[in-house]
Amino acid sequence: MKEIILLKEGEIAIKGLNKRSFEDAMVRNIRRRLKRLGNFAYDRSQSTVAIRPLDDDVDFDAVEDCVSKIFGIAAYCRAMVVEKDFETIAKQTMPYIEEAMENARTFKVNAKRADKHFPMKSPEICAEMGGRILEAFPHLEVDVNNPDVTVTVEIRQDHAYVHTGNRKGAGGIPVGTSGQAMLLLSGGIDSPVAAYMMAKRGIKLSAIHYVSPPYTSDRARQKVERLCEKLTPWCGDIAFYCVPFTEIQEKLRDNCPEELFTIIMRRLMMEIAQRIAEEKEISALITGESVGQVASQTMGAIVCTDAACRMPVFRPVIGMDKTEIIEIARKIDTFDISIEPYEDCCTVFTPKHPKTRPVLAEVEAAQNSFDFEPYIKWAVENTELKVIRCGDEF
Ligand code: ATP
Ligand code: MG
């Protein structure tokens, strides 16, 4: 049996003159992602793109899974391709729709006849196919107004297509059409969710992670690399920057007031992220901060962190509850990795009583009382880059 996937574009369809470049980006992303699964042709007409496998033994469930995670696709439809002969169509339709029909109680048939030379007219196709379906699945009833499943038979010039309707796509706009941002990626639950949310808005991500060996282990870093890999089906390849942060944290511990440790550390993280971002022509930062979640995320703390930033900081989970964030983390399958118990550099040297209402002038004065510049420079120079791709193993 041959299958294809028909794509329905979402917001792209309303992008006016830019539509073509959005569509190009979407198809490019799909091509890149499907390469591992075989050879495909992409037929584009009006607002639909059809993905057609060129090999016989394609794992179509894997193809569907890939496609369902590509931003820019509002909905998609998996269809069977059959020879244009009614008996053949009817025969092959029954096993193809079996799964969809198992949980349905009502159905209708919808016929579209683009090839006007086909010997049966649309109402005839509907009536005849409806009868065959009732015979094959006696538990079903016809309901033309509000059916559980609509079986569509499309007679086109080359072939006939049969499908049971659209499935929801990933939505959003194609990754790469909104510029690039640098994600501050910890091993926690929130920042991978922030990554997913901004990629959905078309942003191409790089990720930066701070490590403090020997206080943090190599396993902790690998955990974050695995999180990156989990994000690639949604975000594409990720340039992963790993920053050696131990010395900065030690200097900070030895030279600044304990209760300001976390807030100054976060400002230094932002500084390093910005320097690398500027070098790579990346124009914004992303974090997984959510107001009030922990001491470093009170309004006052965010004001002090933000004051250290020259570029916009996107915080897509800022107004979300932890339960809402976890729901997305489960959906994108990062949750189980995020809860693995490895230490993060943020938990090294954490003060017992961090200031929840830091005053910016005080924070700046404390930070300026020590010359961090040589350490920042060293950390930037010694940052390691690794590109994480879908299917990478650690
Ligand atoms: P998360 O679940 O994303 O770890 P969190 O609730 O644990 O967030 P914090 O530890 O205060 O909160 O971190 C807030 C944000 O700072 C994170 O969402 C992330 O963007 C960034 N961050 C924290 N630790 C690191 C790190 N080691 N490397 C890179 N970014 C980090
Ligand atoms: Mg964290």
pLDDT in tens, the chain (394 residues): 899 999 987 776 666 767 888 889 999 999 999 999 999 999 987 667 899 999 988 999 999 999 999 999 999 999 999 999 999 999 999 999 999 999 999 999 999 999 999 999 999 999 999 999 999 999 999 999 999 999 999 999 889 999 999 999 999 999 999 999 999 999 999 999 999 999 999 999 999 999 999 999 999 999 999 999 999 999 999 999 999 999 999 999 999 999 999 999 999 999 999 999 999 999 999 999 998 877 778 899 999 999 999 999 999 999 999 999 999 999 999 999 999 998 888 888 888 888 888 899 999 999 999 999 999 999 999 999 999 998 888 8
- Please, are residues 20 and 47 in contact by the beta-carbon 8 Å criterion? no
The helix/strand/coil state of 151 is strand
Alpha helices in the chain (DSSP H): 19-34, 60-67, 86-102, 122-136, 190-200, 218-235, 246-255, 261-279, 299-306, 322-331, 335-338, 360-368, 373-381
pLDDT for residue 17: 67
pLDDT for residue 347: 82
- Please, are residues 152 and 112 in contact by the beta-carbon 8 Å criterion? yes
The gap between the terminal CA atoms of the chain, to the nearest Å, is 37
Decide: 329 in ligand 1 pocket, CB within 6 A.
no
Q: For ligand 1, atom 22, which residue shows the shortest CA distance?
A: 186
Pocket test for ligand 1, best of 182, 183, 184 (most atoms within 8 A of CB): 184
**pTM score, two decimals?**
0.92
Q: For ligand 1, atom 1, which residue shows the shortest CA distance?
A: 188
pLDDT for residue 35: 93
pLDDT for residue 280: 97
Pocket test for ligand 1, best of 182, 189, 190, 205 (most atoms within 8 A of CB): 190
pLDDT for residue 394: 80
Closest C-alpha among 187, 114, 111, 101 to residue 153: 111
Residue written as tokens 């930062």? 285
DSSP class of residue 18 equals: G
Decide: 173 in ligand 1 pocket, CB within 6 A.
no
pLDDT for residue 1: 86
DSSP class of residue 149 equals: E
Question: How far apart (Å, rounded) are the C-alpha atoms in residues 357 and 354?
Answer: 9
pLDDT for residue 349: 85
Q: For ligand 1, atom 18, which residue shows the shortest CA distance?
A: 288
379 Cα to the center of ligand 2, angstroms: 20
Question: How far apart (Å, rounded) are the C-alpha atoms in residues 229 and 240?
Answer: 10
